[in-house]
Amino acid sequence: MKLLLDATRCQGYGLCQEPAPELIDLDEWGYARLRGAPVAEGGEEAAEAAVAACPNSALKLVK
């Protein structure tokens, strides 16, 4: 499973980082940065929660 970020859609709310801090960092303005594209085994639930938390659909999971 791979987590993808469309940086042009990210508005810097930072809501995605709370459910998945091991997958997503925030820059100094609150914009998301992925720590690594492949989601480690056991991290699928956190990745799905991060995708659901984004109000602008900037995150997507690809299997």
Residues with Cβ < 8 Å from 16, sequence gap 6 or more?
Answer: 24, 32, 50, 51, 53, 54, 58, 59
Q: What is the pTM of this model?
A: 0.91
Give tens-digit pLDDT for 6-62: 999 999 999 999 999 999 999 999 999 999 768 989 999 999 999 999 999 999 999
Distance from C-alpha of 55 to C-alpha of 34, rounded to nearest angstrom: 17
Domains of the chain, each with CATH number or no CATH: 2-62 (3.30.70.20)
Do 50 and 57 contact (CB within 8 A), yes or no?
no
